[in-house]
Structure 1
């Protein structure tokens, strides 16, 4: 069964954890190639087969069908008054959509957790979605909305296709073998409490896409402003909106008003 963690899609408070290094940009990499992939199918998790205690430790070791077994060492995030998720060990990482919200809203054309053959690990994976907590998938048709081999734009909230293929992400070097499906797999595991050395890089990717000065967040704000539309006008750049949703972010009025100040400069 999946690790039993507190459902935290609404306002809750979290415990304490050991501080982690502050996220920073990937060393020696350019964001231009990744930007092309982000907005252009998915970089594309999965029921843990067993849960047991680490020898001599209170940490739970989670064995999963994809990637290495891991322990959940950090508390669940809380939400602040702006609706942002707050991870105590990395205060600058502030998505506002939980993994559960991302899948429930309609994402990745229903294909993210499909069976794959990873060129990064050389392994084939199937039914990886079983790793997810049951309540994340409540009401969803796994076959068509989670693990489909056929991308269906009707599954997506904005009814559009976006993102690069898994092959493209793999060939560009963005996929780490611990999370063969990509960034969203990393996010699902990070949200539940896993911490690894790859966190800094993955948080940096998020920041450049959907963070305070993230390219695609600011791109959407600029387009909305120039169109004279409301911040939540779905007709304005649905592809970018869908992209940001895949990265755990949805534009709100507070962030729009903040971003418009940069547009007007």
Structure 2
């Protein structure tokens, strides 16, 4: 019994020592004579460099792609993240995309969502007659900070349209079925233009970009239909360019296309408005 007891104590001490050693940082266990540098740090630095090279290769490969993979949602999400580009604004508040300088919305996808848009329904569960599939939880591919402070079930993915969710408290826009029957929806973005915009903003590039940017230009660009419609109504109302009571439906529509009328754009556009 004495022997067993002694063995038990020795084993216990050995376990405690092993446990203590395991809890120590690697730099203490593997400390060398070279001023505190460790083999652990060398291994970590080597792995970090290796990962950076792999990440860089993936990023450049993706940004050069002109195709959209139709594989799993996870693969699509990963490609968007790998292809992330930092987007900045110029002194006019316009977003800058170096590869598409003609595309100049002044609201990012995050700003569109945070402002209150689509009656809270954009990323609702849908059945796409284009892909012949049910789609849901597409909002989960968005960066978390885009959704910060929002109630997803009522402000992002609701099946019930709520006017009060919108910035201007009005309803606007056609149905998904209408957009599909008009031929505006393609398989890679079954929800439509704003889904394309979210993915484009995050770095994805596809063959459909020119078409979608062209649609934006016809709606909210310098010669865009709804942008100039709003400018004309403001001029003839005698109100300020940012008066929300002047055509709130058009203002909400433009917001869904990533644009909000600015004083500078209003002054320039007002020059082209013909008197009644």
TM-score (norm: length of structure 2)? 0.73
Q: Which residue of 2 aligns with 1:139?
A: 149
- Structure 1 residues 74 and 133: alpha-carbon distance in aligned structure 2, compared to 1, 3 A threshold: closer
Q: Which residue of 1 aligns with 2:140?
A: 130
Deviations 1:161-213 (A, max 9, x none): 10100000001100010000000000000001100000000000000000011
The counterpart of 1:83, out of the listed 79, 87, 93, is: 93
4+ residue runs over 3 A deviation: 53-57, 60-74
Deviations 1:132-189 (A, max 9, x none): 0000000000000000000000000001010100000001100010000000000000
Task: Please list, as runs of the form range in 1=range in 2, the aligned pairs for 1:102-251 lying within 5 A after superposition.
Answer: 102-251=112-261
TM-score (norm: length of structure 1)? 0.75
Q: Which residue of 2 aligns with 1:259?
A: 269
Structure-2 separation of matches of 1:116 and 1:54: 37
Structure-2 separation of matches of 1:55 and 1:80: 29
Q: Structure 2 unaligned runs (5+)?
A: 1-52, 63-68
TM-superposed deviation, 1:78: 1.3
- Structure 1 residues 66 and 239: alpha-carbon distance in aligned structure 2, compared to 1, 3 A threshold: farther
Which is greater in Rg? 2
TM-superposed deviation, 1:252: 0.7
- Structure 1 residues 210 and 241: alpha-carbon distance in aligned structure 2, compared to 1, 3 A threshold: same
Deviations 1:102-136 (A, max 9, x none): 00000000000000010000011111110100000
The 3-state SS of whatever aligns with 2:246 is: coil
Aligned residues: 213
- Say what the alpha-carbon RMSD is for the aligned residues: 2.3
